[in-house]
Amino acid sequence: MTPAPSKQREMDQEAQSSQSSEAAAKAVLLEECEEQFGLLQKLQNEIILTDTEANDDQSNEAVNRLIAVTSELEQWQEMEPKLLTTSPEVLLAVGKEELQRLNNQLKMVLSCSQAKLDAQKKILKREQTWQAEKKEALNAVCEKITRLQLENEKSEHSVLQDMKRKINNLKDYHSSLMEMLSDMLAEHFPLPDPQGNGTKKKRAAAYDAEMNLISLSEIIERLTNKTLETPHDPYVITDDTFWPPYTEMLLRNGIATRHPEDCNKIRLENFFGI
């Protein structure tokens, strides 16, 4: 099947180039054309013969293709390049035309491949940025995973330790606060000095007689203890051991309030509202 096409093509090419040759060379070419055409007819007859002999067996297309390609390959291997004609004008004209066409085609190919290259570079850049982003995300997630794992690994024992530590810290803080409070109270709110007001007019002796004034810290301590231990009845009875100016001060500054019915009782005011 394939020998005929190659000859046909050659002939067609020659037929094409014959249009661009001069009169003298034309004759030569025409002769060659006639020759090739004769060959063509012969081959065509052979083909028709083989066609009618071996009716289309609808064999596998792939097999057909394989046969065709291998026989074409053999043809190309056998074929030797030969000049169309030895006439120089023809060759020159044909050569010029071919080279120009080739030049144009190569220019097109060049620009096309440049464009493709640019497109591919863009794609590459985009993919690289994408990859960088994903890597960052991956790193962040890995870190988080390790952190979570570490936390999960803390056994009960360590939790207990943490708790103990926190409790101790708080106790220390609490005690330091208490110390500071007592220091401050002792410094700024001392017990009234029995001898300080010693003037006969004030009858300070009457005061002293009933002594056992308790200090402000003592008062506050009693108030807080009563509130914490018996929250349903946080009232402390103000007897004579409470120095009245101090109780007045507590009441006026909103640290304590009186019992609504009984004026001798006071309680610690709510702090948590502040």
Partner 1 sequence: MALLTPFSKVPELNTATVLLVENEEELQSKLANALVQYKKDFNVNVRLARKLPLPVENKETRPRIDLIVFVVNLLSERSLQSVESSLAHLHSDCFLGKVCFLVTDARCGSHTQERLVSVRKLAASHQSPVLCAEHRTVDGVNAAAVRLLNILKVSAGMSPIATTALYLSSLTRCSVTSDLEED
Partners of 267 in beta bridges? 257
Which positions from 194 through 253 interact with partner 1, judged by CB under 8 A?
Answer: none
Partners of 266 in beta bridges? 236, 258
CB of 33 to partner 1, least distance (A): 9
Residue type at 250 in one-letter notation: L
Find the binder of partner 1 among 23, 53, 54, 61 (CB under 8 A). 61
Q: Which is nearer to partner 1, 126 or 202 (CB)?
A: 126
Q: How many CB atoms are closer than 10 A to CB 178?
A: 12
Which positions from 156 through 195 interact with partner 1, judged by CB under 8 A?
Answer: none
Find the binder of partner 1 among 24, 104, 117, 130 (CB under 8 A). 130
Q: Which is nearer to partner 1, 36 or 227 (CB)?
A: 36
Q: Which residue has the tokens 């807080």?
A: 224
CB of 72 to partner 1, least distance (A): 6
Site string for partner 1, 90-109 (x = CB under 8 A): --------x-----------
Q: Treating both helix axes as pointing N-terminal to C-terminal, what angle do 88-153 and 3-17 enclose, rounded to 10 degrees?
A: 120
Segment interacting with partner 1, rule: CB under 8 A, options 6-14, 201-209, 233-241, 254-262: 6-14
Q: Which is nearer to partner 1, 128 or 169 (CB)?
A: 128
User: CA 1: distance to chain centroid?
Assistant: 62
Assess contact for 258 and 265: CB atoms under 8 A. yes
16 touches partner 1 (CB under 8 A): yes
Tell me 55's DSSP state: -
Q: Which residue has the tokens 């046969």?
A: 67
Structure tokens at 26: 């034309």
Residue 238's contacts (CB-CB under 8 Å, 6 or more residues apart) are 247, 264, 265, 266
Point out which residues bind partner 1 (CB under 8 A).
1-2, 4-6, 8-10, 12-13, 15-16, 40-41, 44, 47-48, 51, 56, 58-59, 61, 64-65, 68-69, 72, 76, 98, 130
